[in-house]
Each structure stands twice: as C-alpha cells, then as structure tokens.
C-alpha cells in the first residue's frame, strides 16, 4: 500500500516537472544582454531623386546614385569604456556613384550598456567638437517598449521624440515602427557665393537650415534598428530668409543587404537572450519523464503475500485430565 502511495506521488511530481519543461518558453525569463564594447557594423542607405550641391564646381546636381554609409565601431580601449558604459564611434559619409564626396560627419557617444541611452563622458563629440549627446543613437534598448523615445539627431545636435506608431512584421519578424520629425532649424551660418542665395554680393553669410522626416523599424527584444527611411532637406537661406541652393535633399532607405545584416544581428541577440530556455526545457522533459517512469513502477508493485503459517502448525490434541 505504501509503495503505491509513493508511486502516485512521484507520478504527480513527474507530471509537474514535465509540464514545466514543455512550457519553459512561456515562463523562463530572457537573459539580459548588454551593448558590446567591441561592436562593429555598417549601414548603407540608397537615395532616390537626390539633389545636392557639388562642392567642386559649386553647382546643383540631381542623381539617383547617392548613398549614405554609416560605420559603427566600439572602442573597448577608450578610457570611458567599462562594465557599465560602451564607447561607440560613428562615421557617416555621403557620396555618389562617380566618387564625389557630398558630405561627412562623425560622432563619439558613450552609451549605457543596459538602457542604450547616451551618458555624459569625456570622449563624446560631434565632428571633433565636445558635444553633450543625449537620448538614443543607433540602437534601442533590449525589450523596447511601445512608447516614445528620445532619439539623437547628429545634424541638429539634439534629441527629438521618436514616436511609437504601431507594430508590424518585416519578413515575418515582429518589429515596432517609430517616426521622428526634425523641424526646420538653422544649424550654422557659412559664407557662400552670393549667387547661391540670390544676393548681389560676392560673398554672403548664409544660414544653413535643416529638417528631416525619419521612420525606423526596431526589433523589440534586441533593440536593433533593422530598417530606416528618411527624407532630409538641408538648404541655404539668403537675404530676408529667401530660399537658396539646396545642399542635400531626397529620400534615403536602407539597402536590402543592410536590412538583412541588421535582421541577422537582431536574431543573434534574440537567440543569446533565450539560451537558458532550451536548457530548462530539455532538463524538465527528461527529469519529468524519468519521474513518471519511476512512479509508474512503484505504483505497479504489489505487496508480497503473507505466508500461511496455519498449514504448517501441528494439530493440537487435547490432553485428558487426571
């Protein structure tokens, strides 16, 4: 009787362990993954109907072969890099198919390795100038939420809201869409030939005005940006704020190769975060199955029959009394 009770208890325990293993993906938490100190990747955005000012002849050009390349490199040897902070460098170049360099920019940001937000440090800069970079840069945090985030814009040197607008799928991968508007604003003043801004002066101190509309797709578990489309407009303004020559305008979208590479990086991080789940799943299934088998054997055992001592006992003969 006791063996049967123990067997049934073991069977019950085995069922619980087996169920826990089968449902591990639903209750085992994802592992935390921090930003890499030695990160390295490149994105390439291709332009459509791009207008720009060719710096050599100082003449406006329209082209379909303009691209924007952004190289990201983690500097793990930087003094600010460590357990809590990653130092990432960004180098952006804009050029066309014939090799004309339309523009360049660079930035160094110190990022919190968990939240991906910029933190104050000695190394942070834009185009070699000390700059207080704020908000997110080229990466969202792991477990990206369905809410607005402040996203840094290097051109205007400030962070602006990237608003969450919905969830969708990119080739079957769940992603969140964010949209950011960079309102037109003066970013600097440069001396230019008066003809570029409608001035009769040989040289005129023109304002450089920039605006942009940006749409981003983010894989939420990894925080990796997997696609970007944007429409920048940078132009000169002359006397009385009159519009002058366009320095850069067009629509840019990440190339197919860049999207594929970003998706692969996102999936690698997703797999890394879930690496504990297969271990728990197969351990639970194996242990649960073993307990069920052991419990079944215990429950099936029968108590051995008690010997019939009455058959071996000699018959009692009454003794006559005296």
Query: Tell me, what's the pLDDT at 87?
Result: 97
Query: Tell me, what's the pLDDT at 99?
Result: 82
pTM to 2 decimals?
0.78
Regions of the chain where pLDDT drops below 50:
21, 24, 27-30, 276-277, 280, 322
User: Encoding tokens for residue 159?
Assistant: 């962070």
Query: Tell me, what's the pLDDT at 27?
Result: 39
Tell me the residue ranges of DSSP E strands in the chain. 40-54, 59-63, 66-74, 85-96, 101-112, 125-126, 129-130, 149-153, 158-170, 173-193, 203-218, 225-230, 233-237, 243-254
Which sequence spans correspond to the domains of the chain?
A: 2-26+277-303, 32-273
Query: Tell me, what's the pLDDT at 24?
Result: 46
**C-alpha to C-alpha distance for 132 and 111, rounded to whole angstroms:** 12
Q: Is the four-CA dihedral 165, 111, 272, 83 of positive or negative sign?
A: negative
Alpha-carbon 96 to chain mean position:
30
Query: Tell me, what's the pLDDT at 158?
Result: 96
Closest listed residue to residue 177, CA positions, set 226, 115, 232: 226
Query: Tell me, what's the pLDDT at 17?
Result: 52
pLDDT, tens digit (0-9, with 9 covering 90-100), for 230-262:
999 999 998 888 889 999 999 999 999 999 999
Query: Tell me, what's the pLDDT at 276?
Result: 45
Query: Tell me, what's the pLDDT at 272?
Result: 77
Long-range (24+ apart) CB contacts under 8 A made by 31-34 are 31/272, 31/273, 31/274, 31/275, 31/276, 32/114, 32/142, 32/273, 33/142, 33/222, 33/269, 33/272, 33/273, 34/86, 34/113, 34/114
């Amino acid at each position: 009787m006791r063996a049967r009770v123990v067997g049934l208890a073991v069977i019950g325990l085995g069922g619980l362990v087996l169920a826990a293993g089968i449902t591990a993906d639903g209750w085992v938490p994802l592992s935390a993954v921090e930003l890499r100190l030695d990160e390295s990747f490149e994105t390439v955005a291709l332009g459509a109907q791009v207008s720009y000012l060719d710096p050599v002849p100082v003449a406006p050009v329209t082209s379909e072969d303009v691209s924007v390349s952004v190289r990201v490199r983690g500097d793990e040897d930087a003094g600010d890099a460590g357990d809590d902070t990653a130092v990432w460098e960004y180098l952006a170049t804009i050029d066309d198919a014939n090799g004309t360099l339309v523009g360049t920019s660079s930035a160094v940001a110190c990022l919190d390795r968990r939240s991906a937000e910029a933190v104050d440090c000695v190394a942070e800069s834009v185009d070699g100038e000390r700059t207080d970079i704020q908000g997110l840069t080229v990466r969202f945090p792991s477990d990206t939420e369905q809410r607005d985030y402040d996203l840094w814009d290097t051109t205007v040197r400030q962070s602006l809201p990237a608003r969450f607008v919905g969830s969708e799928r990119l080739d079957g991968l769940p992603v969140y869409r964010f949209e950011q508007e960079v309102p037109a604003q003066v970013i600097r003043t440069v001396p230019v030939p008066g003809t570029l801004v409608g001035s009769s002066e040989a040289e005129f101190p023109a304002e450089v005005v920039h605006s942009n509309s940006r749409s981003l797709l983010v894989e939420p578990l990894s925080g990796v940006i997997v696609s970007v489309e944007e429409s920048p407009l940078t132009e000169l303004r002359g006397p009385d704020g009159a519009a002058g020559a366009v320095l850069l305008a067009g629509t840019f979208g990440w190339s197919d190769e860049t999207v594929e590479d970003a998706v692969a990086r996102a999936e690698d991080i997703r797999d890394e975060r879930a690496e504990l789940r297969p271990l728990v799943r197969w351990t639970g299934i194996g242990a649960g199955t073993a307990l069920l088998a052991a419990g079944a054997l215990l429950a099936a055992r029968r108590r051995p029959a008690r010997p019939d001592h009455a058959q071996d006992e000699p018959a009692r003969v009454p003794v006559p009394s005296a």
